[in-house]
Amino acid sequence: MENLGIMSNFWKNRNAFVTGATGFVGSHVARLLVEQGANVVCLQRDAVRNNSLDIMNLRDKVSVIDGTLEDFALMERIVNEYEIDAVFHLAAQALVGVANRSPISTFEANIRGTYSLLEACRKSETVKRVVVASSDKAYGSHDKLPYAEDYPLLGLFPYDASKACTDIIARSFAHSYKTPVVVSRFANIYGPGDMNMSRIIPGAIVSVLRDEAPIIRSDGTPIREFIYVDDVARGYLLLAERIDEVIGEAFNFGAGDTVQMLDLVNRIISLSGRDLKPHVMLQKKIEREIDAQYLSAEKVERRLGWRAEVSLDEGLKRSMEWYQKNLDLIN
């Protein structure tokens, strides 16, 4: 792949373990690793339905292990038996609404799951690089934006708090035990293959493709930043490759495209060429939702030379083309 910032042949025949590979972002990281020649092991919690490994046609190209992150013995077995060199920890209960309704299951997966995996990595003789997915949500609410890496983590709502804990635990392993861990904090990720229609971009795209009014589950005023999934996968691999330079640190990744939710949906409608109006569900702001969140990616550009390559308009166009071709996969 051209202009990715990925080292030539770095991943060829390396053993990589991707948690969360059955989900949207993890499947794209697994796909890029496979394309780069890595031997990829994936963790699958639920095998009762097709997941992103199937959607991305990866199932026959990776090794799939059934189980949960919270199972420490299993984590230890995987990293040892498969002689794992690189770990990409992307698995999480990532839905804000679910976290608000069920904080315990979210904390179990996102917090206990993280320290179980990291303890297995700490004890391993083969693991040389671990990239842990935090989130812009870990920052919580700050008066001054964009978020910079030295901002305190003030995430207080259940999902936000779980990612703040993930973030701190990961850096604790690096600083306390010299475990080769680095933390990523990405903005909102979108792109082909995201089957979660409760997220605003896939939900709006599928609605307009079906000639239905897209739904905005807020008053339309929150401001967010979005980053295309190919830029994200490239960022994950870059952190792993450069681990010796970044152990114990956190890096923001964003595209610099900030947009209000109503404007975002209107942009999707415009790209579709359809004559639709969004349905704004609420007339006032949602409790437990932060008004504005966006990141400074200055540090990762300065230190590692990474920058987003796909603009929001281009990413939305690519996404819409994918959903148009795959509408039959969506319930």
Residue 318 Cα distances to 78, 310, 325, angstroms: 36, 10, 11
State the pairing for strand pair 258-260/223-228: antiparallel
- 159 as an active site residue: the answer is yes
Please state, in angstroms and rounded to a whole number, the distance separating the CA atoms of residues 165 and 144.
22
- Counting every residue, how long is the chain? 331
Torsion sign over Cα 167, 301, 255, 7: negative
Q: Which of 115, 159, 236, 323 is catalytic?
A: 159
Residues 6 or more apart whose CB falls under 8 angstroms from that of 50 comprise none
Say which residue the tokens 């990595």 belong to: 121
Nearest by Cα to 110 from 79, 70, 157, 149: 70
Long-range contacts of 65-72 (CB under 8 A, 24+ apart): 65/41, 67/43, 68/43, 68/109, 68/113, 69/19, 69/43, 69/45, 69/109, 69/112, 69/113, 69/114, 69/116, 69/117, 70/108, 70/109, 70/112, 70/113, 70/116, 71/116, 72/116, 72/119, 72/120
Q: Which residues are catalytic?
A: 159
